[in-house]
Amino acid sequence: LEVHDSGSNIIASNDDWHDSAQASQIQQSGLAPSDSREAAILITLAPGNYTAVVSGYGNSGGNGLVEVYEMDSNTTRLVNISTRGRVGTASEPMIGGLIAQGGSKKIIIRALGPSLGTGVNAITGALADPVLELRDGSGNLIAMNDDWGNSSQVGEILSSTIPPVNPLESAIVATVGAGNYTAIVRGADGASGVALVEVFDLDP
């Protein structure tokens, strides 16, 4: 696990959390990974954009889970989190999770694909047409969208000031109560490719 700043500089890294100089702090957080081979970093960040990069030891491959927990209770807050990964066939979606605490919270979730294949940082193999689902902690479907411009929420999505740039991309605006939620991204017609799932906090 590596943490990069907005200039792509590595500001922290870890392999095997139990061998870290932060091991006792990680243990005391109550969020220590259950396997000693898993990685964890406890870090204080200034306002800005950061990236957590996960790779396999020795360039090995496989599925992994990257998590971010906000530890402070002061006025600083996490306003956006996004994950880029590969969406497989219909039975191999990309899944993003979020936990809401306290009262209700208004969020927008976006699933991007085709826009990742354009511009100076274009990637190859971007998902052509992402489909987005929002589910609660019991797996119940709260909302689904394919092509945000055709959504009944198009006005709310535009009002958020962060609509997806491509009409084939998806977005959902929702007000959620305290609890666990998952954002599930699949390709239309079972297609595969690289996608980005994002959650933005719309509350002031």
Residue 28, CB-side half-sphere exposure with 13 Å CA sphere: 5
pTM summary value: 0.89
In 3D space, the residue among 150, 165, 170, 48 whose CA is nearest the CA of residue 108 turns out to be 170
Q: What CATH number matches the domain at 79-204, 3.90.1150.10, 2.40.50.100, 3.40.50.300, 2.60.120.380? A: 2.60.120.380
Q: CATH 2.60.120.380 residue ranges in the chain? A: 79-204
Task: Give the burial class of 44: count Cβ atoms within 10 A of its Cβ; 0-12 exposed, 13-18 middle, 19 or more buried.
Answer: exposed
**Residue pLDDT tens, the chain, 204 long:** 999 999 999 999 999 999 999 999 999 999 999 999 999 999 999 999 999 999 999 999 999 999 999 988 776 778 999 999 999 987 899 999 999 988 899 999 999 999 999 998 899 999 999 999 999 999 999 999 999 999 999 999 999 999 999 999 999 999 999 999 999 999 999 999 999 999 999 997
Please give the structure tokens belonging to residue 140: 């119940």
In 3D space, the residue among 95, 65, 94, 98 whose CA is nearest the CA of residue 81 turns out to be 98
In 3D space, the residue among 114, 115, 134, 95 whose CA is nearest the CA of residue 191 turns out to be 114
In 3D space, the residue among 19, 55, 174 whose CA is nearest the CA of residue 105 turns out to be 174
